[in-house]
């Protein structure tokens, strides 16, 4: 049956570009993140931060994760479609009038790829079909950056509040409310601290450079994946090229 396909990840990238233009411009008309060193030293007042970045940066993070996940999903989906068509052609040449069991299994797997979202699901599907471990295909820093991106996306996309304990909680505190949050956010917290240097999770997340940083990590990750997976077909190749040539905060694509 004939059908139409719209590649949402490329459309999301154009939406990301528009938002990034405004985000970069906003830096010139407001005070960027500023830690008050005197307050930190004498403990007389909490450090002062500019959290206005959140008004746009959280949306950029969410779009970034969707662009990455959608592009990777397109690669495996299109490869599955190609392999299914090859099997159908072979079956037709052999005179079979109905689908074979391998065709049915591949079609079922393609449905799972396209309809069952989630980063962990996609990682498992790549491991199964391409024998590619997304946790091993890139360097440690990029892997942790991608992990942090999706941890943040999972909370932001559902509008869930993010909780940060005021001090580190030990194992014996596991029944106290913020402990679960500390466990869920720990890897993302460690990653952001390594890149932006603040002790507090929210202070690192408020850095103006965070969205651009995650896009840079995304480009590196896609480059590593593309080098190992099969050549990206059709729609996925176009989106990959758009991401590869994207420059944060600039006009990249004609409308």
Contacting residues for 100 by C-beta, under 8 A, at least 6 apart: 87, 91
Instruction: Note the pLDDT tens digit of each residue in 146-192.
Output: 999 999 999 898 887 777 776 777 777 777 777 776 777 888 999 99
Q: What global pTM score does this model have?
A: 0.84
- Asked whether residue 64 is domain-assigned, the answer is yes
Q: Domains in the chain: how many in total?
A: 1
How far apart are the C-alpha atoms of 194 and 196, rounded to whole Å?
6
Q: How many CB atoms lie within 10 A of CB 131?
A: 8
Instruction: Note the pLDDT tens digit of each residue in 181-222.
Output: 677 788 899 999 999 999 889 999 999 999 999 999 999 999
- Asked whether residue 51 is domain-assigned, the answer is yes
- Asked whether residue 23 is domain-assigned, the answer is yes
- Residue-level length of the chain: 255
Give the per-residue pLDDT at 42.
45
| 79 in Cβ contact with 233 (< 8 Å) | yes
Give the per-residue pLDDT at 8.
84
Of 72 and 3, the one with more pLDDT: 72
- Asked whether residue 182 is domain-assigned, the answer is yes
Q: How many CB atoms lie within 10 A of CB 52?
A: 16
- Asked whether residue 204 is domain-assigned, the answer is yes
Give the per-residue pLDDT at 21.
93
Residue 68 belongs to domain spanning: 8-73+133-244
**Predicted confidence (pLDDT) at residue 61 exceeds the cutoff of 90:** yes
- Asked whether residue 103 is domain-assigned, the answer is no
Give the per-residue pLDDT at 207.
93
Output b/e per residue, 10-36; b: 16+ Cβ within 10 A: bebbeebbebbeebbeeeeeeeebeee
**Predicted confidence (pLDDT) at residue 119 exceeds the cutoff of 60:** yes
- Asked whether residue 48 is domain-assigned, the answer is yes
Give the per-residue pLDDT at 44.
44
Q: What are the two backbone dihedrals, phi and then psi, of residue 135, each rounded to the nearest 5 degrees?
A: -80, -15
**Predicted confidence (pLDDT) at residue 248 exceeds the cutoff of 50:** yes
| 49 in Cβ contact with 34 (< 8 Å) | yes
Q: How many CB atoms lie within 10 A of CB 37?
A: 9
- Asked whether residue 179 is domain-assigned, the answer is yes
Least confident segment among 57-61, 96-100, 214-218: 96-100
């Amino acid at each position: 049956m004939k059908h139409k396909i719209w590649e949402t990840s490329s459309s999301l990238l154009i939406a990301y570009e528009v938002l990034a233009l405004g985000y970069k411009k906003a830096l010139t008309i407001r005070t960027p993140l500023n830690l008050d060193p005197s307050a930190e030293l004498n403990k007389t007042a909490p450090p002062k931060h500019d959290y206005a970045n959140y008004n746009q940066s959280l949306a950029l993070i969410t779009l970034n994760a969707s662009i990455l996940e959608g592009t990777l999903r397109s690669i495996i989906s299109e490869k599955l479609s190609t392999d299914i068509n090859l099997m159908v052609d072979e079956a037709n040449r052999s005179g079979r009038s109905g689908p074979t069991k391998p065709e049915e299994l591949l079609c079922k797997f393609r449905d799972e790829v396209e309809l069952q979202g989630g980063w962990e699901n996609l990682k498992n599907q790549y491991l199964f079909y391409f024998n590619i471990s997304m946790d091993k295909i890139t360097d440690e820093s990029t892997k942790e950056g991608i992990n942090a991106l999706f941890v943040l996306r999972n909370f932001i996309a559902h509008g869930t509040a993010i909780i940060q304990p005021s001090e580190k909680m030990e194992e014996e505190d596991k029944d106290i409310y913020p402990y679960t949050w500390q466990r869920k956010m720990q890897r993302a917290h460690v990653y952001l601290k390594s890149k932006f240097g603040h002790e507090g999770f929210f202070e690192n997340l408020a850095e103006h450079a965070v969205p651009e940083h995650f896009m840079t990590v995304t480009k590196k990750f896609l480059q590593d994946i593309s080098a190992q997976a099969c050549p990206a077909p059709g729609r996925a190749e176009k989106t990959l090229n758009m991401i590869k040539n994207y420059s944060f905060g600039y006009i990249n694509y004609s409308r």
